[in-house]
Amino acid sequence: MGFICAVNNVNKTYRFKGSDVETRALNDISLSIEEGGFVAIAGPSGSGKTTLLNILGGLDAPTSGSVIVDQTDLAGLNAAEMSEFRLHKIGFIFQAYNLISTLSAYENAEYVSLLQGAPKDRRLFEARQIFKDLGMEAYLKRRPTQLSAGQQQRVAVARAILARPKLILADEPTANLDSRTGSDLIDLMAVMNKTLGLTFIFATHDKMVMEKAHRLILLHDGKITQDIAQ
């Protein structure tokens, strides 16, 4: 099995407007993630885990170093190409869910695959199947405001999976959930990882997510301090 992404000697520094002071968020990071991985990137606030996730997803660019995702060097893509690459190759699950309040759960879940141009009958068939797998088949027509936090996050998971990405990036996906709901959600994603071969990378400080991951990468002050197969 090959690598889905590789980060080579990546540094990221930020300079605040009107200041000469630089803050280094990532310090010479190098790592590779195999296809089908179920990986947690963990560390305290300010350790660089969200920055690293954003760079892997092409939402931010490194100050130096290279990022390869699905055999594509992200530095070689212009803004339009990057947007198209993310649309087809990368799924995102955010802490804040990022659901559209005027759309139903089904419409939110199918939104990315709709943008991809997937046929309507395929979108509906696959959405029903995934909602069933997620225990959400009774909620297809509900709006986000009619769903609990855990149900909204499941819709966000369905949206990421329906797009058939090569890589799913999840930033603190359990942060707004109680421990039982969060554990159930990670277990569901583990099933999707195993049955569909999807690669998941989590940025987290949740010990439960760290324990369930197959690989744990620990960051501190922008550096990898441990990389553990579990």
pLDDT in tens, 128-141: 888 888 888 899 99
Q: Say what the pLDDT of residue 1 is.
A: 65
Decide if 140 contacts 127 (C-beta within 8 A). Answer: yes
pTM of the model: 0.91
The pLDDT, as a whole number, for residue 19 is: 74
Shortest CA distance to 107 belongs to which of 123, 130, 129? 123
Q: Output the pLDDT for position 16.
A: 77
pLDDT at 169: 96
Q: What is the residue type of 70?
A: D
Instruction: Give the pLDDT confidence score for residue 150 in this predicted structure.
Output: 87
pLDDT of residue 177: 82
- CATH class of the region 3-229: alpha beta
User: Which residues in the chain show pLDDT less than 50?
Assistant: none
- What's the pLDDT tens digit per position in 56-72? 999 999 999 999 999 99
Q: Give me the residue label for tokens 């959405």.
A: 127
Can you give the chain as a three-state secondary structure string?
CCEEEEEEEEEEEEECCCCCCEEEEEEEEEEEEECCCEEEEECCCCCCHHHHHHHHCCCCCCCEEEEEECCEEHHHCCHHHHHHHHHHHEEEECCCCCCCCCCCHHHHHHHHHHHHCCCHHHHHHHHHHHHHHCCCHHHCCCCHHHCCHHHHHHHHHHHHHHCCCCEEEEECCCCCCCHHHHHHHHHHHHHHHHHHCCEEEEEECCHHHHHHCCEEEEEECCEEEEEEEC
